[in-house]
Amino acid sequence: MLAEIITVGDELLLGQTIDTNSAWMGEHLALSGIAVDRISTISDAPNALVDALDLALKSVDLVLITGGLGPTLDDRTKQVLSDYFDTPLVQHDGVLANITRWFAHRGLPMLPSNVEQALLPEACEMLPNPLGTAQGMWFGVKGGHQVVVSMPGVPYEMKGIMTDEVIPRLQDRFALPTRYHRTILTQGVGESFMSEHVATWEEGLAARQVSLAYLPAPGQVRVRLSSEGENQEEVVRRVEQEVVAFKALCEHWIVSEREGESVATALTRELISSGKTLALAESCTGGAIASSMTAIPGSSACFLGGVVAYANEVKVDLLGVSKDVIEAHGAVSEEVVKEMAQGVRRRMAADYALATSGVAGPGGGTKEKPVGTVWMALAGPDGVQARVLNFGQSRSRNIEKARLECQAWLLRELREDKR
């Protein structure tokens, strides 16, 4: 099955909004065995949508439209579709009730323009949107052999309708191949190095009907193994077999086997399940590790707190780092980062502590300690260890990579302790 995505809105063409919907839809369609042939972004002008529909219906089976369903004057998608398919706008069962409930739940007054949102083209199937006031629409074309779907442009509303309504209907009504995939997050290895490391195994994958994709993520590599076929059991078995082989080859770098899980979430889960607590002493990462931990709901069960020790006086006064050690070795050193980790671990009575001290850049580099040099320490019940890495020239990447490196380090430590 071949699809085209049409995103509607002047704000997209003017660059006021970045289109994240298309990538999400492309990924989820691909996982259902539907290939996206083209994404067209067009203006709010009615004839732009008519032209785009004419063009798409010449070459694809499925057209997914997002945007232009709001209550304001520039939202014209519904009227254009009603004209395009020559079907009047009528009241659909339950839609007005949905919208009324939506407003009542939020204690907001319902305006006449919202009541109008309850009218939908007669010929469409209504795709309920519990998260907003604009419902989705499904139009069968050529006796249902082709489909045009219209959804709101608000990302979480679109995602809800796609997941709950569109994909199940497509699976139901069309002979889509059975697909199965697993995504594995790794850290500490580049894409090229990993690809070389697993080359022999990777070369045989195609013959075993499994495909491999390296998905980009800063400082990490996400690996997706997928397969499709007729028989569900067979497809699952194929992929799971390769997951076992991949894990044997790359075990040390694997952070999470759960779909979409981040390093911070995997670490939080591991800390909570082992009943351990964490404290942080951050210099060059400047709160980025703390911020990524506390972004996770429930992280207070394992995360006690941290000290962002940017000034040397803060390292001395709040973390108990020795002034002499800073003078002798400099703030970016093995000695200082170890004292930072031990200091915060003691002061917060934590099981583990992570510390960073480095030259994030762009300024501050020296010949001995160039921009990108980051000392990291991990203190735990068995003492303190330190490592140094050089990440590169970009301040934001240095901070991000140091954060991921620290979190993955503790994650590995916790897993090894369990054995």
Nearer Cβ to a copy of itself, position 25 or 149?
25
Name which position in 314, 316, 325, 389 contacts a copy of itself (CB under 8 A).
Answer: 314
**Counting contacts by CB under 8 A, is residue 57 touching a copy of itself?**
no
**Counting contacts by CB under 8 A, is residue 311 touching a copy of itself?**
yes
Nearer Cβ to a copy of itself, position 82 or 102?
102
Binding mask 128-167 for a copy of itself (x = CB under 8 A): ----------------------------------------
Q: What is the closest distance, in whole angstroms, from the C-beta atom of residue 249 to a copy of itself in the complex?
A: 22
Q: Which stretch binds a copy of itself (CB under 8 A): 116-124, 143-151, 233-241, 314-322?
A: 314-322
Binding mask 11-50 for a copy of itself (x = CB under 8 A): -xxxxxxxxx-xxxxxxx-x----xxxxxxxxx----x--
Distance CA 352, CA 276 (A): 8
Select from 267, 193, 187, 182 the least CA-distant residue to 221. 187
DSSP string, 125-141: EEE--TTSSSPEEEEEE
Name which position in 55, 115, 131, 189 contacts a copy of itself (CB under 8 A).
Answer: 55
Q: Which amino acid makes up residue 145?
A: H
- The answer to whether the peptide bond before residue 362 is cis (omega within 30 degrees of 0) is yes
Q: Which stretch binds a copy of itself (CB under 8 A): 89-97, 172-180, 236-244, 360-368?
A: 360-368
Q: What is the closest distance, in whole angstroms, from the C-beta atom of residue 301 to a copy of itself in the complex?
A: 10
From the CB of residue 140, how many other CB atoms can be counted at a distance below 10 Å?
15
Spatial neighbors of 9 by CB under 8 A, at least 6 apart, are 17, 41, 43, 44, 67, 68, 153
Decide: 133 and 99 in contact? Cβ < 8 Å: yes
Q: What is the closest distance, in whole angstroms, from the C-beta atom of residue 99 to a copy of itself in the complex?
A: 20
Helix (H) or strand (E) holding 222, with range, is strand 220-229
Distance CA 20, CA 7 (A): 10
Torsion of CA 25, 26, 29, 30, to 10 degrees: -150
Nearer Cβ to a copy of itself, position 315 or 338?
315
Q: What is the closest distance, in whole angstroms, from the C-beta atom of residue 90 to a copy of itself in the complex?
A: 31
Q: Which structure tokens are listed for 329?
A: 């070795």
From the CB of residue 275, how many other CB atoms can be counted at a distance below 10 Å?
9
Name which position in 97, 104, 295, 328 contacts a copy of itself (CB under 8 A).
Answer: 295
- Residues forming contacts to a copy of itself in the complex (CB under 8 A) are 12-20, 22-28, 30, 35-43, 48, 55, 213, 215-216, 280, 282, 285-291, 293-295, 297-300, 303-311, 313-314, 317-318, 347-349, 360-363, 395-396, 399
